[in-house]
Amino acid sequence: MPSRREYFEASLKVLAEHGFTGLNVGALCRELGVTSGSFYHHFLGWPGFVTQLLEHWESRQLLGSPEDFAALMDLTLGLPHEAEAAIRAWALNDGSVRAVQERVDAARRRAVGKAVEGIVGDRALARTLTSLGMAMLVGHQQLASAGEHDELTELLAEYTRLVHSRAGG
C-alpha cells in the first residue's frame, strides 16, 4: 500500500501530465496501481486530500539556506516545473489553491530577495531583480514544453550574471 508521500508524489506526476482537471481519485489510483480503497484508507475524502497535498507541496519549497543564491538557483532547476504550472492554473480556479500558491510565491520572493540583496546591497534593486527572477521562472514554467527545461539552465545562468554584475549596488 502506498504511503501518503507516495500519493503526493504521484499527484504531482498526474498534475504534470494531465493538469489539475486530470487529477482525481481514479487517475491517482491508476498511477499507483491501487484501488480507491487504498486512497480512502489514507484520506477521508478528496477535499482533505487536496489540503494535505498542497501542504506537502508548500513544505517542500525553499529547503536549504535562503541566503545562498547559488543554492537557490540549484533548487529552482530541480522544481517540478510542469506540476507547478498546473498548480498555478488550478490556483486561478480555486481560492484555497490560490492561497497556497500566494504563500509559496511570497516565501520565494523573501528568500530570493534576501539572497539578492546580500549580493547587490540595495533593497530596491533587490526587489526589482527578484521580481524579474520570479517572472522568468513563472513565464518559463508556463511556456516550456513538458520536460524541456534546458533553456531554464541558460536563463538562470544569465540571471545569475545579471545579479552579480550589480554587486555592491
**Can you point out the beta strands (E) in 9-138?**
none
Looking at residue 121, what DSSP letter applies? -
Whole-model pTM: value is 0.88
Task: Indicate if the alpha-carbon torsion angle 109, 111, 114, 116 is positive or negative.
Answer: negative
CB 137 within 8 Å of CB 144: no
CB atoms near residue 140 (< 10 Å): 18
What's residue 143's pLDDT?
A: 87
pLDDT digit string (tens) for 10-61? 999 999 999 999 999 999 999 999 999 999 999 999 999 999 999 999 988 7
What CATH number does domain 1-60 carry, 3.40.50.1820, 1.10.1060.10, 3.10.129.10, 1.10.10.60? Answer: 1.10.10.60
Distance CA 116, CA 105 (A): 16
What's residue 148's pLDDT?
A: 73
pLDDT digit string (tens) for 118-155? 999 999 999 999 999 999 999 999 887 666 777 899 99
pLDDT digit string (tens) for 58-116? 988 755 556 789 888 988 888 889 999 999 999 999 999 999 999 999 989 999 999 99
The CA-atom distances, in angstroms, between 43 and each of 38, 95, 151 are 9, 21, 38
What's residue 147's pLDDT?
A: 64
> What residues does each domain of the chain span?
1-60, 63-169
